[in-house]
Amino acid sequence: MAAIEKRSREDWQELDREHHLHPFTDHKDLHQKRSRIITRAEGVYIYDADGSKILDGMSGLWCVNTGYGRDEIIDAAAAQMRELPYYNNFFQCAHPPSIELAAMLKEVTPPQFNRVFFTGSGSESNDTIVRMVRTYWDLMGQPERHTIISRYNAYHGSTVAAASLGGMKPMHKQSGLPIPGIVHVDQPYWFGSDRSLSPDELGLAAARSIEDKIKEVGPEKVAAFIGEPVQGAGGVIIPPDSYWPEVQRICDEYGILLISDEVITGFGRLGEWFGADYFVTKPDFMPFAKGVTSGYLPLGGVLVSDRVADVLVEKAGEFAHGYTYSGHPAACAVAIANLKILQRENLVERIRDDIGPYLQAKWAALAEHPLVGEARMVGLMGAFELVKDQESLERFDEKVGAGGVYRDHVTAAGLCLRASGDTIICAPPFTLSYAEADELIDKARIALDLTQKSLKG
Ligand code: PXG
Protein backbone atom coordinates (compact mmCIF):
# COMPACT_ATOMS: atom_id res chain seq x y z
CA MET A 1 0.00 0.00 0.00
CA ALA A 2 1.32 3.42 -0.92
CA ALA A 3 2.38 5.44 2.12
CA ILE A 4 1.72 8.74 0.39
CA GLU A 5 -1.80 10.07 0.04
CA LYS A 6 -2.85 11.06 -3.50
CA ARG A 7 -4.09 14.65 -3.49
CA SER A 8 -4.63 17.45 -5.98
CA ARG A 9 -1.75 19.78 -6.76
CA GLU A 10 -3.58 22.61 -5.02
CA ASP A 11 -4.03 20.59 -1.83
CA TRP A 12 -0.35 19.67 -1.77
CA GLN A 13 0.62 23.28 -2.35
CA GLU A 14 -1.63 24.40 0.47
CA LEU A 15 -0.26 21.82 2.91
CA ASP A 16 3.27 22.66 1.84
CA ARG A 17 2.68 26.33 2.46
CA GLU A 18 1.20 25.74 5.88
CA HIS A 19 3.64 23.22 7.27
CA HIS A 20 6.89 23.00 5.40
CA LEU A 21 9.99 25.15 5.80
CA HIS A 22 12.16 24.62 2.69
CA PRO A 23 15.95 24.76 2.41
CA PHE A 24 17.52 27.92 0.92
CA THR A 25 14.10 29.46 0.30
CA ASP A 26 12.51 32.87 0.70
CA HIS A 27 9.20 31.66 2.13
CA LYS A 28 7.33 34.90 1.64
CA ASP A 29 8.16 34.73 -2.05
CA LEU A 30 7.39 31.01 -2.27
CA HIS A 31 4.01 31.50 -0.62
CA GLN A 32 3.01 33.93 -3.33
CA LYS A 33 4.17 31.69 -6.15
CA ARG A 34 3.48 28.24 -4.63
CA SER A 35 5.87 25.37 -4.96
CA ARG A 36 6.26 23.16 -8.01
CA ILE A 37 5.28 19.66 -6.92
CA ILE A 38 7.42 16.96 -8.52
CA THR A 39 5.66 13.63 -8.35
CA ARG A 40 7.68 11.14 -10.36
CA ALA A 41 10.71 10.64 -12.57
CA GLU A 42 12.11 8.27 -15.17
CA GLY A 43 15.44 8.26 -16.97
CA VAL A 44 16.52 11.89 -17.29
CA TYR A 45 13.00 13.32 -16.93
CA ILE A 46 11.02 14.55 -13.95
CA TYR A 47 7.23 15.04 -13.98
CA ASP A 48 5.26 17.57 -11.97
CA ALA A 49 1.79 17.25 -10.47
CA ASP A 50 0.25 18.70 -13.64
CA GLY A 51 1.93 15.99 -15.68
CA SER A 52 4.47 18.36 -17.28
CA LYS A 53 7.59 16.55 -18.41
CA ILE A 54 10.86 18.32 -17.64
CA LEU A 55 14.34 17.30 -18.74
CA ASP A 56 16.38 17.32 -15.54
CA GLY A 57 19.52 19.19 -16.52
CA MET A 58 20.63 19.29 -12.88
CA SER A 59 20.44 15.56 -11.94
CA GLY A 60 18.18 16.54 -9.03
CA LEU A 61 20.72 18.53 -7.05
CA TRP A 62 23.89 17.33 -8.81
CA CYS A 63 23.28 13.78 -7.64
CA VAL A 64 21.05 11.52 -9.75
CA ASN A 65 24.00 10.58 -11.93
CA THR A 66 22.84 7.15 -13.09
CA GLY A 67 19.35 8.50 -13.83
CA TYR A 68 15.90 7.89 -12.35
CA GLY A 69 13.99 4.61 -12.19
CA ARG A 70 16.90 2.21 -11.76
CA ASP A 71 15.27 -1.03 -10.61
CA GLU A 72 18.61 -2.47 -9.59
CA ILE A 73 19.14 0.29 -7.03
CA ILE A 74 15.55 0.18 -5.82
CA ASP A 75 15.68 -3.60 -5.40
CA ALA A 76 18.97 -3.37 -3.51
CA ALA A 77 17.37 -0.96 -1.02
CA ALA A 78 14.26 -3.11 -0.56
CA ALA A 79 16.26 -6.32 -0.15
CA GLN A 80 18.59 -4.75 2.39
CA MET A 81 15.69 -3.25 4.33
CA ARG A 82 14.11 -6.69 4.58
CA GLU A 83 17.37 -8.26 5.72
CA LEU A 84 18.63 -5.56 8.07
CA PRO A 85 17.02 -2.11 7.74
CA TYR A 86 19.21 -0.53 10.34
CA TYR A 87 22.09 -1.26 12.55
CA ASN A 88 24.93 0.97 13.66
CA ASN A 89 28.67 0.78 13.25
CA PHE A 90 29.39 1.92 16.81
CA PHE A 91 30.50 -0.20 19.77
CA GLN A 92 32.62 -2.68 17.81
CA CYS A 93 29.81 -3.61 15.39
CA ALA A 94 29.71 -3.59 11.60
CA HIS A 95 27.45 -5.04 8.93
CA PRO A 96 28.08 -6.44 5.45
CA PRO A 97 26.85 -3.45 3.37
CA SER A 98 29.14 -0.93 5.10
CA ILE A 99 32.10 -3.32 4.97
CA GLU A 100 31.54 -4.21 1.32
CA LEU A 101 31.15 -0.57 0.31
CA ALA A 102 34.27 0.48 2.22
CA ALA A 103 36.25 -2.19 0.38
CA MET A 104 34.67 -1.28 -2.97
CA LEU A 105 35.59 2.40 -2.59
CA LYS A 106 39.21 1.37 -2.41
CA GLU A 107 38.92 0.01 -5.96
CA VAL A 108 37.80 3.32 -7.47
CA THR A 109 39.76 5.87 -5.45
CA PRO A 110 43.37 7.05 -5.84
CA PRO A 111 45.96 4.74 -4.24
CA GLN A 112 46.57 6.78 -1.08
CA PHE A 113 42.99 6.04 0.04
CA ASN A 114 42.37 2.79 1.87
CA ARG A 115 39.86 3.83 4.52
CA VAL A 116 36.54 5.60 4.68
CA PHE A 117 34.48 7.18 7.48
CA PHE A 118 30.77 7.17 6.62
CA THR A 119 28.35 10.04 7.22
CA GLY A 120 24.85 10.93 6.06
CA SER A 121 25.68 13.94 3.85
CA GLY A 122 28.34 16.20 2.38
CA SER A 123 27.91 18.69 5.23
CA GLU A 124 28.47 16.01 7.85
CA SER A 125 31.51 14.86 5.90
CA ASN A 126 33.07 18.30 6.04
CA ASP A 127 32.29 18.71 9.74
CA THR A 128 33.99 15.35 10.25
CA ILE A 129 37.04 16.57 8.36
CA VAL A 130 37.42 19.70 10.50
CA ARG A 131 37.58 17.46 13.56
CA MET A 132 39.89 14.90 11.92
CA VAL A 133 42.30 17.55 10.60
CA ARG A 134 42.69 19.16 14.00
CA THR A 135 42.95 15.79 15.76
CA TYR A 136 45.64 14.73 13.28
CA TRP A 137 47.81 17.76 14.01
CA ASP A 138 47.28 17.33 17.76
CA LEU A 139 48.50 13.75 17.44
CA MET A 140 51.45 14.92 15.37
CA GLY A 141 52.48 17.16 18.26
CA GLN A 142 51.58 20.36 16.40
CA PRO A 143 48.32 21.45 18.08
CA GLU A 144 48.89 25.04 16.97
CA ARG A 145 48.19 23.89 13.39
CA HIS A 146 44.52 24.73 13.61
CA THR A 147 43.62 27.06 10.76
CA ILE A 148 41.90 25.77 7.65
CA ILE A 149 42.05 27.85 4.49
CA SER A 150 39.10 27.84 2.12
CA ARG A 151 37.88 30.14 -0.65
CA TYR A 152 35.32 32.90 -1.02
CA ASN A 153 32.14 31.70 -2.71
CA ALA A 154 32.99 28.05 -1.98
CA TYR A 155 30.14 25.74 -0.95
CA HIS A 156 30.93 22.97 1.50
CA GLY A 157 27.53 22.47 3.17
CA SER A 158 25.16 23.99 5.67
CA THR A 159 26.11 22.62 9.08
CA VAL A 160 28.05 25.04 11.26
CA ALA A 161 31.58 23.92 10.40
CA ALA A 162 30.74 23.18 6.74
CA ALA A 163 29.07 26.58 6.29
CA SER A 164 32.14 28.16 7.90
CA LEU A 165 34.36 26.37 5.40
CA GLY A 166 32.08 27.66 2.68
CA GLY A 167 32.75 31.18 1.53
CA MET A 168 29.24 32.43 0.89
CA LYS A 169 28.89 35.76 2.61
CA PRO A 170 25.07 35.71 3.00
CA MET A 171 25.36 32.36 4.83
CA HIS A 172 28.01 33.75 7.17
CA LYS A 173 25.97 36.86 7.84
CA GLN A 174 22.92 34.95 9.02
CA SER A 175 24.50 33.17 11.96
CA GLY A 176 27.78 34.67 13.06
CA LEU A 177 29.99 32.44 10.93
CA PRO A 178 32.70 31.46 10.22
CA ILE A 179 33.72 29.73 13.43
CA PRO A 180 37.26 30.58 14.58
CA GLY A 181 40.19 29.07 12.71
CA ILE A 182 38.69 29.19 9.21
CA VAL A 183 39.87 31.83 6.75
CA HIS A 184 39.17 32.49 3.08
CA VAL A 185 41.14 33.40 -0.03
CA ASP A 186 40.39 34.22 -3.68
CA GLN A 187 38.67 31.82 -6.03
CA PRO A 188 40.10 31.14 -9.51
CA TYR A 189 37.16 32.76 -11.33
CA TRP A 190 38.49 34.35 -14.50
CA PHE A 191 35.15 35.55 -15.92
CA GLY A 192 34.23 37.09 -12.56
CA SER A 193 37.54 38.99 -12.38
CA ASP A 194 38.39 42.26 -14.11
CA ARG A 195 40.04 40.06 -16.80
CA SER A 196 43.22 42.12 -16.81
CA LEU A 197 45.19 38.88 -16.36
CA SER A 198 45.21 35.89 -18.69
CA PRO A 199 43.33 32.87 -17.29
CA ASP A 200 46.60 31.13 -16.42
CA GLU A 201 47.97 34.24 -14.73
CA LEU A 202 44.76 34.51 -12.74
CA GLY A 203 44.96 30.83 -11.76
CA LEU A 204 48.47 31.35 -10.44
CA ALA A 205 47.46 34.53 -8.61
CA ALA A 206 44.50 32.78 -6.96
CA ALA A 207 46.71 29.87 -5.89
CA ARG A 208 49.30 32.28 -4.54
CA SER A 209 46.65 33.99 -2.44
CA ILE A 210 46.76 30.72 -0.45
CA GLU A 211 50.49 31.13 0.02
CA ASP A 212 50.01 34.77 1.07
CA LYS A 213 47.41 33.66 3.62
CA ILE A 214 49.73 30.94 4.94
CA LYS A 215 52.42 33.56 5.50
CA GLU A 216 49.92 35.95 7.11
CA VAL A 217 48.52 33.31 9.51
CA GLY A 218 51.96 31.77 10.12
CA PRO A 219 52.97 28.55 8.35
CA GLU A 220 53.18 26.69 11.66
CA LYS A 221 49.51 27.46 12.34
CA VAL A 222 47.97 26.29 9.07
CA ALA A 223 46.40 22.83 9.12
CA ALA A 224 44.76 22.37 5.73
CA PHE A 225 43.39 23.84 2.52
CA ILE A 226 39.97 22.82 1.20
CA GLY A 227 38.65 23.31 -2.33
CA GLU A 228 36.10 21.89 -4.73
CA PRO A 229 38.03 20.73 -7.84
CA VAL A 230 35.44 22.69 -9.84
CA GLN A 231 33.30 24.98 -7.70
CA GLY A 232 29.69 23.84 -8.10
CA ALA A 233 27.06 25.89 -6.28
CA GLY A 234 29.23 28.98 -6.68
CA GLY A 235 28.67 28.82 -10.46
CA VAL A 236 30.64 25.95 -12.02
CA ILE A 237 33.93 27.77 -11.75
CA ILE A 238 36.43 25.76 -13.76
CA PRO A 239 39.91 26.74 -12.63
CA PRO A 240 42.54 27.65 -15.23
CA ASP A 241 45.09 24.87 -15.91
CA SER A 242 47.69 26.66 -13.83
CA TYR A 243 45.66 26.57 -10.61
CA TRP A 244 45.69 23.07 -9.09
CA PRO A 245 49.37 22.27 -9.78
CA GLU A 246 50.31 25.46 -7.96
CA VAL A 247 47.93 24.67 -5.07
CA GLN A 248 49.51 21.24 -4.78
CA ARG A 249 53.00 22.77 -4.78
CA ILE A 250 52.01 25.16 -1.98
CA CYS A 251 50.41 22.41 0.14
CA ASP A 252 53.52 20.25 -0.30
CA GLU A 253 55.93 23.06 0.43
CA TYR A 254 54.23 24.02 3.69
CA GLY A 255 53.26 20.48 4.65
CA ILE A 256 49.56 21.32 4.93
CA LEU A 257 46.79 18.83 4.31
CA LEU A 258 44.85 19.05 1.04
CA ILE A 259 41.10 18.43 1.10
CA SER A 260 39.48 17.87 -2.29
CA ASP A 261 35.74 18.32 -1.76
CA GLU A 262 34.36 15.71 -4.16
CA VAL A 263 30.69 15.96 -3.15
CA ILE A 264 29.77 17.03 -6.70
CA THR A 265 32.82 15.96 -8.70
CA GLY A 266 33.20 12.50 -7.11
CA PHE A 267 32.11 9.32 -8.91
CA GLY A 268 32.53 10.49 -12.45
CA ARG A 269 31.06 13.95 -13.07
CA LEU A 270 34.25 15.23 -14.74
CA GLY A 271 34.85 12.09 -16.79
CA GLU A 272 37.31 10.72 -14.22
CA TRP A 273 36.32 8.96 -11.02
CA PHE A 274 37.29 11.98 -8.91
CA GLY A 275 38.15 15.62 -9.49
CA ALA A 276 41.54 14.83 -7.97
CA ASP A 277 42.12 12.34 -10.82
CA TYR A 278 41.10 14.94 -13.37
CA PHE A 279 43.36 17.68 -12.01
CA VAL A 280 46.10 15.26 -10.90
CA THR A 281 46.23 16.38 -7.27
CA LYS A 282 47.10 14.15 -4.32
CA PRO A 283 44.59 15.01 -1.60
CA ASP A 284 44.76 13.82 2.00
CA PHE A 285 40.96 13.85 2.35
CA MET A 286 38.09 13.50 -0.09
CA PRO A 287 34.61 14.21 1.30
CA PHE A 288 31.87 12.74 -0.87
CA ALA A 289 28.04 12.32 -0.90
CA LYS A 290 25.46 12.83 -3.68
CA GLY A 291 26.71 10.70 -6.61
CA VAL A 292 27.79 7.77 -4.45
CA THR A 293 24.13 6.69 -4.27
CA SER A 294 22.90 8.81 -7.19
CA GLY A 295 20.71 10.39 -4.51
CA TYR A 296 18.46 7.32 -4.13
CA LEU A 297 19.22 7.33 -0.39
CA PRO A 298 21.28 9.80 1.63
CA LEU A 299 24.88 8.76 2.20
CA GLY A 300 28.14 10.63 2.56
CA GLY A 301 31.62 9.88 3.71
CA VAL A 302 35.19 10.96 4.09
CA LEU A 303 37.96 9.13 2.28
CA VAL A 304 40.98 9.39 4.53
CA SER A 305 44.47 8.94 3.09
CA ASP A 306 47.02 6.66 4.70
CA ARG A 307 49.03 9.70 5.83
CA VAL A 308 46.18 10.66 8.18
CA ALA A 309 44.41 7.35 8.76
CA ASP A 310 47.58 5.59 9.93
CA VAL A 311 48.08 8.24 12.59
CA LEU A 312 44.42 8.20 13.67
CA VAL A 313 44.40 4.41 13.91
CA GLU A 314 47.71 4.17 15.74
CA LYS A 315 47.53 7.12 18.07
CA ALA A 316 44.05 8.62 18.47
CA GLY A 317 42.51 6.13 20.87
CA GLU A 318 38.78 6.71 20.51
CA PHE A 319 37.98 9.38 17.91
CA ALA A 320 34.85 10.69 19.62
CA HIS A 321 32.77 11.40 16.55
CA GLY A 322 30.04 9.63 14.58
CA TYR A 323 26.46 9.72 13.39
CA THR A 324 23.52 7.38 13.96
CA TYR A 325 23.38 6.87 10.22
CA SER A 326 27.15 6.50 9.61
CA GLY A 327 27.19 3.66 7.09
CA HIS A 328 23.42 3.07 7.05
CA PRO A 329 22.93 -0.45 5.65
CA ALA A 330 20.27 0.37 3.06
CA ALA A 331 22.17 3.46 1.89
CA CYS A 332 25.37 1.40 1.56
CA ALA A 333 23.53 -1.31 -0.40
CA VAL A 334 22.19 1.39 -2.72
CA ALA A 335 25.70 2.81 -3.15
CA ILE A 336 27.07 -0.60 -4.09
CA ALA A 337 24.31 -1.10 -6.68
CA ASN A 338 24.91 2.39 -8.04
CA LEU A 339 28.69 1.96 -8.30
CA LYS A 340 28.19 -1.34 -10.08
CA ILE A 341 26.04 0.46 -12.66
CA LEU A 342 28.73 3.11 -13.15
CA GLN A 343 31.30 0.35 -13.70
CA ARG A 344 29.22 -1.99 -15.84
CA GLU A 345 27.87 0.72 -18.14
CA ASN A 346 31.26 2.50 -18.29
CA LEU A 347 29.49 5.75 -17.49
CA VAL A 348 32.62 7.57 -16.35
CA GLU A 349 34.42 6.71 -19.60
CA ARG A 350 31.26 7.69 -21.48
CA ILE A 351 31.52 11.19 -20.06
CA ARG A 352 35.21 11.40 -20.91
CA ASP A 353 35.01 10.04 -24.46
CA ASP A 354 31.44 10.25 -25.71
CA ILE A 355 28.52 12.23 -24.28
CA GLY A 356 30.87 14.64 -22.47
CA PRO A 357 32.61 15.95 -25.62
CA TYR A 358 29.27 15.87 -27.50
CA LEU A 359 27.44 18.09 -24.99
CA GLN A 360 30.49 20.30 -24.36
CA ALA A 361 30.70 21.25 -28.06
CA LYS A 362 27.01 22.14 -28.23
CA TRP A 363 27.15 23.98 -24.91
CA ALA A 364 30.15 26.02 -26.06
CA ALA A 365 28.15 27.08 -29.14
CA LEU A 366 25.59 28.76 -26.84
CA ALA A 367 28.24 31.48 -26.45
CA GLU A 368 27.17 32.70 -29.91
CA HIS A 369 23.91 33.92 -28.40
CA PRO A 370 24.02 37.69 -27.72
CA LEU A 371 23.01 37.19 -24.08
CA VAL A 372 25.91 34.84 -23.32
CA GLY A 373 29.29 36.18 -22.23
CA GLU A 374 30.98 32.83 -21.69
CA ALA A 375 29.92 29.16 -21.91
CA ARG A 376 32.11 26.55 -20.23
CA MET A 377 31.77 22.86 -19.45
CA VAL A 378 34.03 20.11 -18.16
CA GLY A 379 32.80 16.53 -18.08
CA LEU A 380 29.05 16.98 -17.61
CA MET A 381 29.32 20.10 -15.46
CA GLY A 382 28.80 23.42 -17.18
CA ALA A 383 27.64 27.00 -16.94
CA PHE A 384 27.09 30.07 -19.04
CA GLU A 385 27.17 33.70 -18.01
CA LEU A 386 24.29 36.01 -18.91
CA VAL A 387 25.53 39.44 -19.98
CA LYS A 388 23.90 42.68 -20.98
CA ASP A 389 26.54 43.40 -23.59
CA GLN A 390 28.47 40.68 -25.32
CA GLU A 391 31.22 43.01 -26.53
CA SER A 392 32.14 44.55 -23.20
CA LEU A 393 30.88 41.53 -21.18
CA GLU A 394 29.00 43.98 -18.98
CA ARG A 395 26.60 42.17 -16.68
CA PHE A 396 22.99 43.06 -15.95
CA ASP A 397 22.23 45.15 -12.91
CA GLU A 398 21.52 42.81 -9.99
CA LYS A 399 18.03 44.31 -9.64
CA VAL A 400 17.10 42.99 -13.10
CA GLY A 401 17.40 39.42 -11.82
CA ALA A 402 18.35 38.13 -15.28
CA GLY A 403 19.22 34.66 -13.93
CA GLY A 404 15.75 34.32 -12.38
CA VAL A 405 14.07 35.48 -15.61
CA TYR A 406 16.04 32.87 -17.55
CA ARG A 407 15.27 30.13 -15.03
CA ASP A 408 11.52 30.78 -15.31
CA HIS A 409 11.67 30.65 -19.12
CA VAL A 410 13.78 27.52 -19.24
CA THR A 411 11.54 25.70 -16.76
CA ALA A 412 8.47 26.66 -18.79
CA ALA A 413 10.27 25.31 -21.87
CA GLY A 414 10.57 21.94 -20.09
CA LEU A 415 14.19 21.99 -18.95
CA CYS A 416 15.53 22.24 -15.42
CA LEU A 417 18.75 24.28 -15.11
CA ARG A 418 19.88 26.23 -12.05
CA ALA A 419 20.61 29.94 -11.75
CA SER A 420 23.37 31.10 -9.42
CA GLY A 421 22.94 34.84 -9.82
CA ASP A 422 23.29 35.38 -13.57
CA THR A 423 25.34 32.21 -14.02
CA ILE A 424 23.22 29.39 -15.47
CA ILE A 425 24.31 25.92 -14.44
CA CYS A 426 23.91 22.51 -16.06
CA ALA A 427 24.82 19.07 -14.68
CA PRO A 428 22.69 16.38 -16.37
CA PRO A 429 22.63 12.65 -15.58
CA PHE A 430 25.49 10.58 -17.04
CA THR A 431 22.98 8.53 -19.04
CA LEU A 432 21.92 11.50 -21.20
CA SER A 433 21.49 10.30 -24.80
CA TYR A 434 22.51 12.29 -27.88
CA ALA A 435 18.84 13.07 -28.60
CA GLU A 436 18.33 14.24 -25.01
CA ALA A 437 21.49 16.36 -25.24
CA ASP A 438 20.09 17.97 -28.42
CA GLU A 439 16.79 18.61 -26.64
CA LEU A 440 18.64 20.16 -23.70
CA ILE A 441 20.53 22.56 -25.97
CA ASP A 442 17.43 23.45 -28.03
CA LYS A 443 15.47 24.30 -24.89
CA ALA A 444 18.36 26.24 -23.38
CA ARG A 445 18.52 28.30 -26.58
CA ILE A 446 14.76 28.88 -26.78
CA ALA A 447 14.88 30.17 -23.21
CA LEU A 448 17.75 32.51 -24.13
CA ASP A 449 15.64 34.01 -26.93
CA LEU A 450 12.67 34.43 -24.60
CA THR A 451 14.88 35.97 -21.91
CA GLN A 452 16.27 38.40 -24.43
CA LYS A 453 12.72 39.44 -25.36
CA SER A 454 11.72 39.80 -21.69
CA LEU A 455 14.76 41.86 -20.76
CA LYS A 456 15.04 44.03 -23.82
CA GLY A 457 11.45 44.10 -25.00
N1 PXG B 1 30.32 20.08 -0.63
C2 PXG B 1 29.97 20.44 -1.88
C3 PXG B 1 31.03 20.69 -2.90
C4 PXG B 1 28.63 20.52 -2.21
O5 PXG B 1 28.27 20.90 -3.46
C6 PXG B 1 28.08 19.90 0.06
C7 PXG B 1 29.42 19.81 0.33
C8 PXG B 1 27.11 19.60 1.15
O9 PXG B 1 26.44 18.40 0.90
P10 PXG B 1 25.03 18.10 1.59
O11 PXG B 1 24.81 16.65 1.27
O12 PXG B 1 25.16 18.32 3.04
O13 PXG B 1 24.01 19.03 0.98
C14 PXG B 1 27.64 20.26 -1.23
C15 PXG B 1 26.18 20.35 -1.53
C16 PXG B 1 23.12 24.22 -5.14
C17 PXG B 1 23.30 23.26 -4.03
O18 PXG B 1 22.21 25.06 -5.04
C19 PXG B 1 24.46 22.55 -3.91
C20 PXG B 1 24.62 21.69 -2.83
C21 PXG B 1 23.61 21.52 -1.91
C22 PXG B 1 22.44 22.26 -2.03
C23 PXG B 1 22.27 23.13 -3.09
O24 PXG B 1 23.86 24.17 -6.12
N25 PXG B 1 25.82 21.04 -2.70
Q: Confirm if 118 and 128 have CB atoms less than 8 A apart.
A: no
Q: Is the CB of 155 under 6 A from ligand 1?
A: yes
Ligand 1, atom nearest to 121 Cα: 11
Could you give the residue ranges of the DSSP H alpha helices within 65-159?
71-83, 96-108, 122-139
Q: Residue 300 Cα, ligand 1 centroid: separation in angstroms?
A: 11
Specify the DSSP class assigned to residue 285.
E
pLDDT at 457: 63
Question: In angstroms, rounded to a whole number, what is the distance separating the alpha carbons of residues 68 and 77?
Answer: 14
Beta strands in 130-212 (DSSP E): 147-151, 182-185
What does the alpha-carbon distance between residue 175 and residue 257 come to, in Å, rounded to a whole number? 28
- How many angstroms does the Cα of residue 109 sit away from the middle of ligand 1? 21
For a mutational test of ligand 1's pocket, the pick from 263, 302, 323, 328, i.e. the residue with the most ligand atoms closer than 8 A to its C-beta, is: 263
Say which DSSP state 271 is in: S
Fold entry, domain 36-66+348-456:
Aspartate Aminotransferase, domain 1 (3.90.1150)
> How far, in Å, CA of 155 to CA of 163, rounded?
7
Is there an atom of ligand 1 within 6 Å of 231 CB?
A: no
Do the domains at 36-66+348-456 and 72-344 have one common CATH topology? no
Angle subtended at Cα 381 by Cα 379 and Cα 386, rounded to the nearest 5 degrees = 135
Query: Ligand 1 pocket test: which of 24, 25, 26, 61 has the largest number of ligand atoms within 8 Å of its C-beta?
Result: 61
Per-residue model confidence (pLDDT) at position 2: 84
In the chain, where are the structural domains located? 36-66+348-456, 72-344
User: Is the CB of 260 inside a 6 Å radius of any atom of ligand 1?
Assistant: no
Any ligand 1 atom below 6 A from CB of 151: no
CATH of 72-344, one of 3.90.1300.10, 3.40.50.970, 3.30.1300.10, 3.40.640.10: 3.40.640.10
Distance CA 362, CA 358 (A): 7
Are the CB atoms for 127 and 163 separated by under 8 Å? no
Amino acid symbol at 452: Q
β-pairing, 381-386 vs 423-426, is antiparallel
Task: Using the mean position of ligand 1's atoms as its centre, give its distance from the Cα of residue 233 in Å.
Answer: 7
pLDDT at 175: 86
Ligand 1 centroid, distance to 156 Cα (angstroms): 6
Cβ–Cβ contacts within 10 Å for residue 270, how many?
26
The distance in angstroms from the start CA to the end CA of the chain is 52
Q: What is the CA radius of gyration of the chain?
A: 22
228 CA closest ligand 1 atom index: 3
Profile the chain (457 residues) by mean pLDDT over runs of 10 residues: 90 96 94 94 97 97 98 98 97 97 98 98 98 98 98 98 96 94 98 96 98 98 98 98 98 98 98 98 98 98 98 96 98 98 98 98 98 98 97 94 97 97 98 98 98 89
